[in-house]
């Protein structure tokens, strides 16, 4: 039980970090590799719950700090156009988020952008939880199977702060900036792409 609390706290903390945190799936692969005795389903459930709470926290912080304190009124109005469009397409939004959540792609930027829209958090939290629970179970299982069949040093697997990782994190931060600069009224209503003036 104590180990699950440590995993929960670590995963929650990682998922509140806006950038440059190791991917949760990688951490869980290492946990599965180093602790093959863990029940993969219980560990995945714990991790998915912790990750979802962490991402909800990140989205709320994004709304409170970035939207309420840093964005200009014009930018907020622009993002609200996208919010209205997403509200009218709830099923497609939830479906797309569910599919995305099955992948190992980073979700921190998705939750930051979502927080800027002030949409109800349940629209993103439930599909994220379901998708991550399934994908985390797979990563934990693969880590445990690797422990049983491979002779590798788990410490080498954990080296993630290479140039590729840093460049992708900077790229995703740039995407968040560009997300707020797209003229969403032009894109969604006029069907023309342009930047917000």
Torsion of CA 101, 104, 110, 111, to 10 degrees: 70
Residue whose token pair is 């994220």: 128
For residues 46 and 3, is the Cβ–Cβ distance under 8 A?
Answer: no
Would you state the pLDDT for residue 134?
94
Give long-range contacts, CB 8 A cutoff, 24+ apart: 169-174. 169/19, 169/20, 172/19, 172/106, 172/108, 172/109, 173/19, 173/109
CA torsion sign, 178 to 115 to 50 to 88?
negative
Residue ranges in the chain modelled with pLDDT below 70? 1, 147-148, 150-162, 164-165
Would you state the pLDDT for residue 154?
45
CA 34 to the chain's CA centroid: 24
Would you state the pLDDT for residue 161?
53
Q: Under 8 Å CB-to-CB from 23, ≥6 apart: which residues?
A: 104, 106, 160
């Amino acid at each position: 039980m104590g180990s699950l609390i440590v995993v929960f706290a670590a995963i929650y903390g990682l998922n509140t970090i806006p950038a440059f945190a190791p991917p949760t799936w990688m951490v869980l692969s290492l946990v599965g590799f180093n602790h093959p005795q863990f029940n993969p389903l219980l560990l995945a459930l714990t991790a998915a719950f912790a990750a979802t709470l962490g991402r909800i926290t990140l989205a709320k912080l994004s709304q409170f700090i970035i939207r309420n304190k840093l964005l200009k009124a014009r930018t907020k109005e622009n993002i609200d156009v996208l919010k209205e469009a997403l509200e009218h397409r709830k099923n497609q939004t939830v479906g797309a988020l569910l599919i995305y959540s099955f992948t190992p792609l980073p979700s921190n930027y998705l939750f930051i952008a979502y927080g800027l829209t002030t949409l109800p958090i349940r629209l993103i939290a439930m599909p994220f939880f379901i998708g991550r629970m399934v994908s985390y179970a797979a990563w934990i299982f693969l880590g445990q199977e690797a422990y049983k069949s491979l002779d590798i040093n788990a410490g080498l697997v954990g080296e993630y702060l290479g140039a590729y990782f840093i460049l992708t994190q900077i790229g995703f931060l740039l995407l968040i900036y560009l997300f707020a600069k797209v003229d969403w009224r032009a894109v969604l209503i006029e069907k023309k792409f342009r930047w917000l003036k």
